[in-house]
Structure 1
Amino acid sequence: MCLEFTEMCQADRDFIYAVSTVPTLPPADILVINDFWLPVFAPLHPASGKVVVNAARVPKGQYFLYSRVDRIIGVSKAVQEAIIQQNPNLASRVTSIPNPVNTQIFTPSSLPKPEREEKVVLYAGRIHPEKGLHLLIDAFVVLSKKFPAIKLRIVGPYQEHQGGGGQSYLQKLKLKAQNLKIEFLEPTFNPHQLANFYRDADLFCYPSLAEKGEAFGVAPLEAMATGLVPIVSNLDCFRDFITEGMTGFFFDHRDNCAIGNLVETLTFAISNPEITRRMSLAASQKASEFSYQNIAQLYLNTFKELLHQPNSGEHELGLDPH
């Protein structure tokens, strides 16, 4: 009930913000919006230009309201398809452009990784139930019996104001991790330090369970950029940059054998270093396609195309000139 009340209050604030902001919008050729209500009202402003919605989250039912916008750019093909499913009339105006990764910072090590008996599996991201860390630790219990020298390193924020699951969830994980080689490290917001965490690891595991919350997944892409092979849950958003057995591995997180599936996938990756070594190179090459320069060019190409199309006003009442 408290969560529903909070969401209602946020929706009210968003509505007030949109209504008060639209009259103050400066003239523009392209207006990019990342807001709930602005896409409803901004196309009514005579100087708004082409209205583009940047859809960085899985849709929550609002896209039937956006009949007047010129373009919707989903952050992944999964988001694009979810929007079209919600409002098929928008199909010709929805596309996807992925998030970028800083390929100047997230790069493979310039030195060969030293041979060591200990293998480090890394998770970097929010410490929250929807990220599946309890599943990862349960799998690690089994995995550590097969590979006694293996270590799990968990890096990320747990505090609720930083998107984490709170102190209680962290303590639950630490209780599961007792007597295991599992490290919980403080979050870092320094990209250079984060890149070093990736480079020091042998595998990256991101077992997200967020069916309606995971829109893209930057962390696995950052890991790939450093040459780290990712093991991820079977969410569609990861398929924009991970190909099974070539640039990473998937495990089925949806059935009753999810823990066993993850153990099996991690076991294969650890037991076949020659395969993961080849995949490491392919992963970093794939991640290089998501550089700031490349993604910026995709946006510029989209904007250029829009400027040669009819005005957003023609979408009024759901008419589609495309």
Structure 2
Amino acid sequence: MKITIVQGAFIPVPPILGGAVEKIYFKLGQEFVSLGHEVTHISRTYPSLENKETINGVSHIRVKGYATPKSLLVLKFYDLIYTLRTLKHIDSDIVVSNTFWLPIFFRSKTKGKIYVSVERRPKWQMKLYSNASRFRACSPMIFDLVKEKLKPKDHDKISYIPNPVPFQLKDFKTEKNNSILFVGRLDKEKGVHVLIDAFNSIPEEIAKNWTLNIVGPWESAEGGGGEAYYESLKSKKGNVNFVGSVYDQDALSKFYYESKIFCYPIQDGTGDAGPVAPREAMSYGCATVLSNHDCFNEYAVEDVNCLRFNQSSENQVEELSQQLTKLMTDTQLREKISLNGRKVFDDFSTSKIAKMFIEDFQSVLNE
């Protein structure tokens, strides 16, 4: 079959500026090709990238996009202009939409069926997507939320396919060190401030031999919380290392490989739907601590492959500190969590998830 993947207006593909969804579909597109399908991937232009090229069998078309603006209203306007520019490049069987406007403006019945990939909490726009043939939820939580937004007659249009771990494991031939790792945007909804406060509240005799590495962008244009939030993080005491953005996959994987503990403390109100970073970390054997957010429930099992804390509690800093301390001081527990977490890689491999997508695409075409 012919498959067109349409990314949003703000991050190029390959994901040289990061972007979990862009990273996922960059790898999935190549898997679709390996399964015998024809794939076109549309994304924004970028100075170091050709407007048209083929990468591992995937035809990449890049149209003019934008840097991420601070204003949500401006962001939606830019995304609209970008989406309209993509329409002339679409002619396929399945059109995977990762943009806000495409399911509204793509109306051709001969150039593909719209397949909406829901990667964040759905809102009112779901009701505008009457032209969509399928709503693919990236987690059970998102499946239920999409169902709430659609009329009962459209519930059979919803499917659940999890996000994959979009890389192959590598052996960097180094030892894990006493480090705790966070990877993601430096924003309040990610709970980076909570993590730093929790780390700083761990008794000195335990924490003195550990480092907290914070990897990710703080700039608003890259999805971060902005300079004021970043400065507030840096003002906190403690052995905290702000690494900045790391977009090279091997360099990022090396952080996972060398870290003993990974923490992803997202907060209530976050738009996270099926975060990839925790699965990447678990794949590399990081003993992982997660909040109790529902988006982790498809794979996170308390006291088996992770520890969790209640992000809704007034004492969440203390709770997180206690969970981190357990893993820092109890080698047996840490190794158990690490070993069980590694199984996530097999459960969510790109090749396995790609086959689920192809089966879902075919069911759409058979309708």
* Counterpart for residue 34 of structure 1: 98
| Amino acid aligned to 1:278 | K
* Counterpart for residue 63 of structure 1: 126
| Amino acid aligned to 2:345 | A
| Amino acid aligned to 2:131 | R
* Counterpart for residue 46 of structure 1: 109
Q: How does 1:57-136 map to 2 (within 5 A)?
A: 57-89=120-152, 90-105=154-169, 107=170, 113=175, 119-136=178-195
| Amino acid aligned to 1:149 | N
Could you tell me whether the CA contact under 8 Å between 1:131 and 1:210 is conserved in 2? no
Give the number of equivalent residue pairs: 298
Work out the CA distance in 2 between the residues paired with 1:21 and 1:104.
31
CA spacing shift, 1:270–1:188, aligned 2, 3 Å: same
Match of 1:292 among 345, 350, 355: 350
Please provide the CA RMSD for this pair: 2.5
CA spacing shift, 1:158–1:9, aligned 2, 3 Å: closer
* Counterpart for residue 271 of structure 1: 329
SS at match of 1:202: strand
Structure 1 residue runs of 5 or longer lacking an equivalent are: 310-322
* Counterpart for residue 54 of structure 2: none
SS at match of 1:208: coil
Greater strand fraction, Structure 1 or Structure 2: 2
Work out the CA distance in 1 between the residues paired with 2:162 and 2:123.
20
CA spacing shift, 1:144–1:137, aligned 2, 3 Å: farther
Structure 2 residue runs of 5 or longer lacking an equivalent are: 1-68
Work out the CA distance in 1 between the residues paired with 2:246 and 2:85.
37
Deviation of 1:192 (Å) = 0.8
The alignment-based identity, stated in percent, is 31
CA spacing shift, 1:207–1:60, aligned 2, 3 Å: same
Work out the CA distance in 1 between the residues paired with 2:338 and 2:364.
38
Could you tell me whether the CA contact under 8 Å between 2:183 and 2:277 is conserved in 1? yes
Deviation of 1:244 (Å) = 1.1
Work out the CA distance in 2 between the residues paired with 1:155 and 1:70.
38
Work out the CA distance in 2 between the residues paired with 1:12 and 1:191.
31
Deviation of 1:130 (Å) = 1.6
Which stretch of the first structure deviates more once superposed, 292-301 or 209-218?
209-218
Deviation of 1:194 (Å) = 1.1
How does the TM-score come out when normalised to structure 1?
0.84
Match of 1:257 among 315, 334, 338: 315
> Is 2:235 the counterpart of 1:171?
no
| Amino acid aligned to 1:202 | K
Could you tell me whether the CA contact under 8 Å between 2:70 and 2:220 is conserved in 1? no
Match of 1:11 among 62, 76, 80: 76
* Counterpart for residue 197 of structure 1: 255
Could you tell me whether the CA contact under 8 Å between 1:131 and 1:207 is conserved in 2? yes
Could you tell me whether the CA contact under 8 Å between 1:108 and 1:284 is conserved in 2? no
CA spacing shift, 1:133–1:144, aligned 2, 3 Å: farther
CA spacing shift, 1:297–1:139, aligned 2, 3 Å: same
Higher Cα Rg, which structure:
1
Deviations along 1:176-199, whole A, 9 cap, x unmatched? 12xx22222232111111111112
Work out the CA distance in 2 between the residues paired with 1:21 and 1:149.
52
How does the TM-score come out when normalised to structure 2?
0.74
Deviation of 1:243 (Å) = 1.2
Work out the CA distance in 2 between the residues paired with 1:19 and 1:197.
39
* Counterpart for residue 229 of structure 1: 287
Deviation of 1:71 (Å) = 0.6
Could you tell me whether the CA contact under 8 Å between 2:189 and 2:270 is conserved in 1? no
